[in-house]
Amino acid sequence: MSKNEETDPYRIPTKHNIRTAMHWLVQGCQAGDSLVFHFSGHGSQQKNYTGDEIDGFDETLCPVDFEAQGMIVDDEINATMVKPLPHGVKLHAIIDACHSGTMLDLPFLCRMNRNGRYAWEDHSPQSGKSKGTNGGEVISFSGCDDDQSAIDTPALSKGTSTGAMTFSFIQAIERGNATTYGDILTSMRTTIQEVATDVGGDAVTSLLSMLLNGGSLGAIKQEPQLTANVPFDVYTKRFSL
């Protein structure tokens, strides 16, 4: 939801409102609860100075007022929604934004190649600091790798401009390609690859990416990612919200 589409001041995606929503989502959760967090918007990166990021950068969400209030850093997202989750609680995050690969700062990333082979990459900080939960389960689908940009395009929906990751996630479910987590990830990547040669990102998305990240206009690579608090077999674990 954009600022211009929402009239309720408490539902406009400002930094304060997003923070409040994250706290509300996990507050009072108990065994048997299944939570979903979806963000579709702009993401960025900033230099990490604590040494707990493999690539040296923290990932960030950009609220509508980020120029005045600042961005929401992955460390805060992890501390707010990941660490408190008790045993028996499940959280799925769907993050459609640039640089969103490890937006929840989860310790494991599923590194999958074009042939569907994968290995879990350990992103745990060398300091030994925990990025996991208090016994709960967290799985995140994100629009792209940490060093990639995510696109909005009308090429997928054949109509209004749509987040490629969000569209491909919905398509995977509607087309029956959501039996396992591996099925979903493969389906999402296939859907996006089908239009990748024709789409380089719309002018607004490309320009914002350039301004935020010091990049240059041009073709945008995008490969959806899967991260989790614990590794699992993506082709046998059944997807369930």
Q: Is 29 a catalytic residue?
A: no
Residue 87 annotated among the catalytic residues of the structure:
no
Measuring CA to CA, how many Å separate 2 from each of 39, 87, 100? 11, 34, 19
In the set 29, 62, 98, 144, the catalytic residue is: 98
Give the contacts of 130 (CB within 8 A, at least 6 positions apart): 83
Q: How far apart are CA 102 and CA 225, in angstroms?
A: 8
Q: How far apart are CA 168 and CA 187, in angstroms?
A: 7
The amino acid at residue 44 is S
Residue 140 · residue 95 · CB < 8 Å: yes
Closest Cα to residue 110, out of 229, 238, 241, 239?
229
Q: Which of 42, 62, 99, 110 is catalytic?
A: 42
Dihedral sign, Cα of residue 72, residue 100, residue 234, residue 171: positive
**CA of residue 88 relative to chain centroid, distance:** 22
Nearest alpha-carbon partner for 199 in 142, 149, 147, 130: 149
Catalytic residues: 42, 98
